[in-house]
Amino acid sequence: METRQLILGLALAILVFLAYQRLYSWLAPKPPAPNPAELLTPPGDNGAAAASRSPGEDRPAVSAVLETGDTLDEIVLGGDSHRLRVTLTPLGGAIASIQLVERDSGGRYVYRAAADSQEPAQVLRPVLDGSGAVHASFATHRVWVPELGRPEGWRMDDLVWRVAESGPQHVVFSTTLAGADGAAPLLRITKRFELLPDKPLLHFTLEATNLAGRSLSVQFAQDGPIGIHREHAQYDMRYLMTAARHKDQIELSTAEKRDSLLKAARSGKPVTLFTIGTDKTFLWAALGNKFFGVFTRPLPPENGRPAVIQTALGTVAAPNVDTNHSDWTTNGDLLARLVTTRDTLAESGGSARYAFEIYAGPKDSDVLKRVNAAYVDQDQLGYSLFHGADLRCFCVPLWLTQLMTWLLQSIQALVFNGGAAIIVLVIIVRTLLHPLAVFQQKSMYKMQEGMLKLQPKLEAIKEKYPDDKVKQNQETMRLYSEEGVNPMAGLVGMLPLFIQMPILGALWTALNTDIHLRHAPLDGWWIRDLSAPDALLPFNPPIDLPVLSWLPFIGYAFSGVTALNLLPLLMGVSMWLQQKYMPKPAMQARLEAARKQQQQEGAAPRRSGGGMTPEEQLRQQQMMAYMMSVMFPLMFYYMPAGLNLYWMATNVFGICESLIIRRQLERDRERREREGVKLAKKPPGMISRFFKRLAEQAEELQKQADKLSSQEPRADGKRRQSEPQAPTRGRLSDDRKRKPR
């Protein structure tokens, strides 16, 4: 009755909470949409800035203007003979998109857009905001020339640049800052993009040349990459990170995701990723997703200049565009904005040049090393540290993740199938754990036999000391020690699970970050990508399941469901079967003893202190196991198909292993009963000796307590030590309650 009331109370509380949430979402006023917060103040000596205007505002009348180009035709660099195909746009003089066009020996793209696609993977793409503006990669956001008297500088990312030069592997954009009303030009700004052959690299140069008859100082806010592809609909692994060299060591910034950057952008305070210091220099900025990254690093400056980058800021380009389930590929607007150091240009021809190298491709250390050994050298550039941030998940040791990745790659190279590699990995892991599984099963069955034999004696102890828990525990531990029964044997059954959990975490990390497992299939029809959910039946648009999507904690699993994933459901069925066939020795022993007692005495089943009979306790235990069989598929629903396949194969292997061991033990028991052979009583083990010591220590403490209790003063001032002592009941309070003579 108490359990039923508790369940009803919890259900009522959840219903009240859900009703409050729905009512509040309907009646609460919606917050006003914030203004675009693409804010950057003009840097002074210390990089301070004032608010800039939004892209849609009119330009105020100034003494100088930037000339514009006359075409928006895109330019394509590279192709099938290169590693990259780069599309550039004069709008902002920027990169519109980057595709990975490397092919394998069979002529197929190594990195494809989707598992069943014949198109190359697109790493970067343009981003649209709510006003229809287009944001492209490596646009120059702003230029400041303090001598011209305009503190906010000039916006350049919404400017149409002139195509000054173009070729198969390079393009040059140009614009000129000139005086108003046709006055003489003051500053020429050029941007050059050059694609390197046979490498996924671009060289980007930003140069300012003084055309005026006086010296000028110049400073730029240069944007990095934007629009990296999101690899999964349900969870987003895109983030920004910068690296700096500090006292001969590489120092990484925090991995900033869109949520934190969006909050900062809407407050008008972009996140500072890097600030120059006396012993701190900028190394690189990176934008990445699960598998790919785009790294931007300044090349060594010319003429002995000490530094190129003064500040690196993290922001988002479209802060008013929110994620929605109908188009989850949007919002790839994470942006690193690099503010250069201020340079002085000599009159009539003085120039400042800022050179950058851009890498676009997998974050995998092997690929990075083939491009440039310095990328994985932590004493030089350390690009591999960006990938290392992905590998430290679930508190799993890095070495274990690297071991799992190596194992999967090695097995896949042998069996030529990613799904088969995972199943082989299950066989390897479970084979290594087989001795532990045999020991676990035998210990549990021996415990079951021992508990069946001891259960009448345990019940007798409870009847003899019904109100004395201390004495019950003493006698129970003494009985376990004398009979050589280990009541802790049930915990041995948890050891395989404890060992498997780190392996699961390492496998999840490997499937999410290892480029070799991206789009690795099982059968090519149902499970086409082991690094993503199996998506047997896609939903377009995604759906929210009524009522279930409102539930706290687990409602996310029923919101924005993009497909019916069958593999997690099959994994839940395998868990249910495993729970069904898993022995429960302690509970079954109590149940068997209760049934024998009921048959002998003809009485109703005895209820325990919790108010439940052994049958009810067993049903409750089974209900908890079945609830886990439901909760795990919900937890794993959006996990990679490879992880679900691993867990399901582990469950199936465990069921078969348990049935085989169980059958062997049953045959051994039947043989002993048929031949009349009894198990030789083994000497007490470590656990038995431990319980025996506990019982002896408890008994000794009880004797001391009884002795102290017997020496308490009486009402006439004398002590009781000479008086005969009544039998104690195991509690000090019992003696204290006796009335003095």
Based on the fold, state whether residues 525 and 461 are members of the same structural domain.
Answer: yes
Average pLDDT over residues 113-139: 87
| HSE toward the beta carbon, residue 661, CA cutoff 13 A | 22
Bridge partners, 217 (sequence order): 344
Q: What is the average pLDDT score of the chain?
A: 78
Based on the fold, state whether residues 244 and 299 are members of the same structural domain.
Answer: yes
> Given pLDDT bands bounded at 50, 70 and 90, which one contains residue 582?
low
Based on the fold, state whether residues 379 and 411 are members of the same structural domain.
Answer: no
From 675, 698, 714, give the residue that closes a domain.
675
* Number of residues that make up the chain: 741
pLDDT of residue 47 exceeding 60, the answer is no
What is the C-alpha to C-alpha distance for residues 318 and 334, in angstroms, rounded to an integer? 9
Average pLDDT over residues 453-459: 74
CATH code of residue 303: 2.70.98.90
pLDDT of residue 16 exceeding 60, the answer is yes
Tell me which range, 373-377, 451-455, 509-513, 574-578, is most confidently predicted by mean pLDDT.
373-377
Task: Quote the DSSP letter at residue 549.
Answer: G
> Given pLDDT bands bounded at 50, 70 and 90, which one contains residue 735?
very low
The pLDDT of residue 338: 96
pLDDT of residue 519 exceeding 90, the answer is no
Question: 448-457, 627-636, 654-663: lowest mean pLDDT where?
Answer: 448-457
The pLDDT of residue 370: 93
Distances, alpha carbon 457 to alpha carbons 463, 475, 481, 594, in Å: 10, 10, 13, 12
The pLDDT of residue 716: 54
- In whole angstroms, what separates CA 166 from the centre of its chain? 43
> What's the pLDDT tens digit per position in 28-44?
544 443 333 334 544 44
Residue of higher predicted confidence among 404 and 553: 404
pLDDT of residue 54 exceeding 70, the answer is no
Average pLDDT over residues 633-640: 86
Residue 40 within a domain: no
Give the structural domain span for 163.
Answer: 67-391
Average pLDDT over residues 493-512: 76
Residue 270: Cβ-neighbour burial (10 angstroms; 0-12, 13-18, 19+): buried
Question: 125-139, 149-163, 411-425, 465-479: lowest mean pLDDT where?
Answer: 465-479
The pLDDT of residue 7: 60
Based on the fold, state whether residues 414 and 301 are members of the same structural domain.
Answer: no
Based on the fold, state whether residues 384 and 406 are members of the same structural domain.
Answer: no
What is the C-alpha to C-alpha distance for residues 225 and 314, in angstroms, rounded to an integer? 12
Q: Which residue has the tokens 């590699």?
A: 421
The pLDDT of residue 303: 64
Domain count, the chain: 2
Residue of higher predicted confidence among 17 and 162: 162
Give the start-end residues of each E strand in 258-362.
271-275, 280-288, 292-298, 309-316, 334-340, 343-345, 351-362
Residue 661 within a domain: yes
Based on the fold, state whether residues 407 and 376 are members of the same structural domain.
Answer: no
Based on the fold, state whether residues 381 and 424 are members of the same structural domain.
Answer: no
Residue of higher predicted confidence among 565 and 471: 565
Based on the fold, state whether residues 382 and 404 are members of the same structural domain.
Answer: no
Question: 153-157, 279-283, 538-542, 697-701: lowest mean pLDDT where?
Answer: 697-701
Residue 699 within a domain: no
Based on the fold, state whether residues 443 and 588 are members of the same structural domain.
Answer: yes
The pLDDT of residue 115: 83
Residue 273 within a domain: yes
The pLDDT of residue 137: 96
The pLDDT of residue 42: 45
pLDDT of residue 195 exceeding 90, the answer is yes
Tell me which range, 202-211, 252-261, 445-454, is most confidently predicted by mean pLDDT.
202-211
Residue 228 within a domain: yes
Based on the fold, state whether residues 117 and 222 are members of the same structural domain.
Answer: yes
The pLDDT of residue 392: 63
Residue 45 within a domain: no
Token code pair at residue 597: 């007692």
Average pLDDT over residues 582-604: 57
Based on the fold, state whether residues 525 and 387 are members of the same structural domain.
Answer: no
pLDDT of residue 323 exceeding 80, the answer is no
Taking only Cα atoms into account, the Rg of the chain, rounded to an integer number of angstroms, comes to 36
Residue of higher predicted confidence among 48 and 183: 183
> What's the pLDDT tens digit per position in 360-377?
999 988 899 999 999 999
pLDDT of residue 62 exceeding 80, the answer is no
The pLDDT of residue 602: 55
pLDDT of residue 260 exceeding 70, the answer is yes
Residue 692 within a domain: no
The pLDDT of residue 325: 38
Residue of higher predicted confidence among 607 and 500: 500
Question: 101-105, 500-504, 563-567: lowest mean pLDDT where?
Answer: 500-504
Token code pair at residue 469: 């828990």
Crossing angle, helix 469-483 and helix 434-464, to 10 degrees? 130
Based on the fold, state whether residues 296 and 419 are members of the same structural domain.
Answer: no
Task: Quote the DSSP letter at residue 638.
Answer: T
Residue 615 within a domain: yes
pLDDT of residue 474 exceeding 80, the answer is no
From 391, 422, 456, give the residue that closes a domain.
391
pLDDT of residue 306 exceeding 90, the answer is no
From 617, 642, 675, give the residue that closes a domain.
675
> What's the pLDDT tens digit per position in 479-494?
777 766 666 655 665 6
The pLDDT of residue 536: 87
- The residues, ordered by sequence, that sit 6+ positions from 668 with a Cβ below 8 Å of its Cβ are none
Distances, alpha carbon 563 to alpha carbons 139, 222, 509, in Å: 37, 40, 23
CA 437, 442, 447, 449 torsion: positive or negative?
positive
What is the C-alpha to C-alpha distance for residues 681 and 668, in angstroms, rounded to an integer? 16
